[in-house]
A = this chain, B = another copy of it.
């Protein structure tokens, strides 16, 4: 297969799915990976192909041993060289006091947000280095630079993720690999993630209050444009970190500490 491959780990109906579609529309073969809802995954793949693009779907339990490693190996062998990888997994669990954050929850947050990225980098970046180019785009959050109330698990895992992106920059940028840390700061108009966390009624109310006409929720397709721009930057002028925020939602910005 001659198309460059864009692998999206964490491909739901929000950021991940839209990033996959954006790259597919530009001639990439999109590999969409997610843990649950294989029908939803099929639907996303079909949306890409219906629009004239090319895509495959993969079920993936990212915290399982060897899962990410095997997926990368298979795609590199069967589909083609991964030119762009998007790591879009996290484990935001809503606000929890310390007493309501069991050790297992805290550890799982790190396994999804940090360790999975480390495993992806460990198996994928050597392939990219051999080819002399490649991009790893990492969805992150305000919690990576400011630990606010109730986010013991989320903030700690995201802070770890941010520092990991920087140590990857320090080792791999000069080898042609572009790792970018993308601070998505605010509520995303994503039924799969925010919608599930809030429940359908609160999510719809939020959409009506902030989103839609007022553009106060981050629109995933708009986010995807910046992911695509990052993967296309000339290597003399790469962005290693940026924020994405809705214009109306300054409360988020004030808490961000970027």
- Which residues of A are at the interface with B, using a C-beta cutoff of 8 A? 97-99, 101, 103, 106-107, 110, 114-115, 118-119, 121-122, 125-126, 143-152, 155-174, 176, 178, 189, 211, 215-219, 222-223, 225-226, 229, 232-250, 253-258
Q: Is the CB of B241 within 8 A of A245?
A: no
Partner of A258, one of B150, B222, B241, B244: B241
Partner of A152, one of B118, B235, B239, B245: B118
Given known pairs A146-B257, A225-B233, A243-B241, the reply for A164 and B156 (CB within 8 Å) is yes
Shortest A207–chain B CB gap in Å is 12
Shortest A4–chain B CB gap in Å is 19
Name the residue in A165, A168, A219, A239 with the highest tally of chain B Cβ atoms < 10 Å from its Cβ. A239
Q: Is the CB of B160 within 8 A of A253?
A: no
- Complex: how many Å from CA A156 to CA B140? 14
Q: What is the interface of chain A mostly: helix, strand, loop, or mixed? A: helix
Partner of A237, one of B110, B239, B244: B244
Nearest residue, chain B, Cβ from A244: B237
Pairs A-B, 6 closest by C-beta atoms: A147-B166, A159-B163, A222-B234, A257-B257, A160-B160, A242-B242
Q: Is the CB of B218 within 8 A of A236?
A: yes
- Complex: how many Å from CA A150 to CA B163? 12
Given known pairs A215-B235, A233-B226, A237-B218, the reply for A150 and B171 (CB within 8 Å) is yes
Q: Is the CB of A155 within 8 A of B147?
A: no
Residues of chain B within 8 A of A171, CB atoms compared: 97-98, 149-150, 152
Residues of chain B within 8 A of A172, CB atoms compared: 98
Partner of A106, one of B115, B144, B225: B115
Q: Is the CB of A247 within 8 A of B178?
A: yes
Can you list 5 A-B contacts (CB < 8 A)?
A: A103-B122, A114-B160, A147-B166, A157-B160, A222-B234
Residues of chain B within 8 A of A159, CB atoms compared: 159-164
Residues of chain B within 8 A of A189, CB atoms compared: 236
